[in-house]
């Protein structure tokens, strides 16, 4: 008996599989440069053809992030952005008509500060379909997986090229999708990836029936196409966050705001393989 899934993310991956297409999954920092603009950018990303979104909770000590996302977090933290603010942003985007599955991306500390009971109570009624917590300690993952399951949200595991013998353990009991990190180090655009990244992705595919997505360093349509041919999803973060950073002067001026938003939309639209562009 197939379990009827109500999780928006799972349904999206099922639909994309039928279309024979990988998901384009942008990451953006919530509140960069401000919350109102984040809501406008979410609409542009959806119009550009994003299939789901990683909504990043800005954090003061983003250890796994390169300079682009570190700067975005610093800008966003100028206004007091908490996990709850990011959840409310997801709900507001839904109420404004977005149909995208939202993945809340946060480091573990902000979740602990909110309190696990409160966090999971809020997650579900804020339209969050997935969670990525890159620094979740292994010893906490069983409890977090249980809480996620009870809240009907997918706790998405990250696997790195060095995970090799631990892949089976990491992906067992996971849901949503498995996030393959393409390279070692921190986030940020790259011209090349970990040697043998295709073999690594292949080994993850063998270890799970879940959709497999890849991220870290992907910033051009050629790179998206390369990974979209072997994965179910491709995550692009820093390149989009940098685009937002570049157009902030346009966004800040009412006379040129729409031009700034259009440039973000066009940048993301050109990332998708030509044959699947909606624009
Ligand atoms: O920024 P990049 O190189 O395109 O990588 C995706 C990344 O932004 C996003 O998935 C993410 C942002 N911060 C992270 C920290 C760890 C793992 C993943 C992430």
Q: Which residue has the higher pLDDT, 75 or 273?
A: 75
- Domains observed in the chain: 20-271 (3.20.20.70)
- Quote the ipTM score: 0.98
Tell the residue nearest (CA) to atom 13 of ligand 1.
Answer: 65
Cβ-based neighbours of 239, under 8 Å, separated by 6 or more: 189, 218, 219, 220, 267, 271
Query: Is residue 235 in contact with ligand 1, taking CB distance under 6 Å?
Result: yes
Phi, psi of 166 (to 5 degrees): -90, -5
**Ligand 1 pocket test: which of 102, 130, 183, 237 has the largest number of ligand atoms within 8 Å of its C-beta?**
237
For the annotated catalytic residues, the residue numbers are: 54, 65
Q: For the chain, give the mean pLDDT.
A: 94
Query: Is residue 163 in contact with ligand 1, taking CB distance under 6 Å?
Result: no
Question: What would you measure as the largest C-alpha separation in the chain, in angstroms?
Answer: 56
Confidence of residue 244 (pLDDT cuts 50, 70, 90): very high
Question: Is pLDDT at 274 greater than 80 in this prediction?
Answer: no
CB 182 within 8 A of CB 215: yes
Predicted local confidence at residue 80, as pLDDT = 86
Nearest residue to 39 via CA among 264, 256, 272: 264
| Mean pLDDT confidence for 116-130 | 93
Give pLDDT tens digits for 5-23: 679 999 999 999 999 999 9
Predicted local confidence at residue 279, as pLDDT = 47
Which atom of ligand 1 is nearest to 56's Cα? 12
| Mean pLDDT confidence for 65-88 | 96
Least confident stretch, 160-174, 180-194, 196-210: 160-174
| Mean pLDDT confidence for 137-156 | 93
Least confident stretch, 86-90, 122-126, 144-148, 217-221: 122-126
């Amino acid at each position: 008996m197939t379990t009827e899934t109500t999780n928006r993310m799972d349904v999206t991956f099922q639909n994309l599989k039928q279309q024979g297409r990988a998901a384009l999954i942008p990451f953006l920092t919530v509140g960069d440069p401000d919350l109102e603009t984040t809501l406008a950018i979410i609409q542009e990303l959806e119009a550009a053809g994003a299939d789901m979104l990683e909504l990043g909770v800005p954090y003061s000590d983003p250890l796994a992030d390169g300079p682009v996302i570190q700067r975005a977090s610093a800008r966003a933290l100028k206004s007091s952005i908490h996990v709850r603010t990011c959840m409310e942003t997801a709900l507001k985007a839904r109420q404004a008509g977005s149909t995208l599955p939202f993945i809340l991306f946060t480091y573990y500390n902000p979740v602990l500060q909110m309190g696990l009971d409160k966090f999971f109570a809020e997650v579900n009624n804020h339209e969050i379909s997935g969670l990525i917590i890159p620094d979740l300690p292994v010893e906490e993952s069983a409890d977090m997986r249980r809480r996620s399951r009870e809240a009907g949200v997918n706790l998405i595991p990250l696997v790195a090229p060095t995970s090799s013998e631990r892949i089976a353990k990491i992906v067992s009991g996971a849901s949503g999708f498995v996030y393959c990190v393409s390279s070692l180090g921190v986030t940020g655009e790259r011209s090349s990836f970990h040697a043998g990244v295709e073999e690594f992705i292949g080994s993850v595919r063998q270890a799970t029936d879940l959709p497999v997505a890849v991220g870290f360093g992907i910033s051009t349509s050629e790179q998206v196409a390369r990974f979209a041919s072997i994965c179910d999803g491709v995550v692009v973060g820093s390149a989009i966050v940098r685009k937002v950073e570049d157009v902030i002067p346009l966004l800040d001026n009412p006379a040129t705001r729409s031009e700034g938003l259009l440039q973000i939309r066009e940048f993301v639209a050109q990332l998708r393989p030509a044959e699947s562009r909606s624009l």
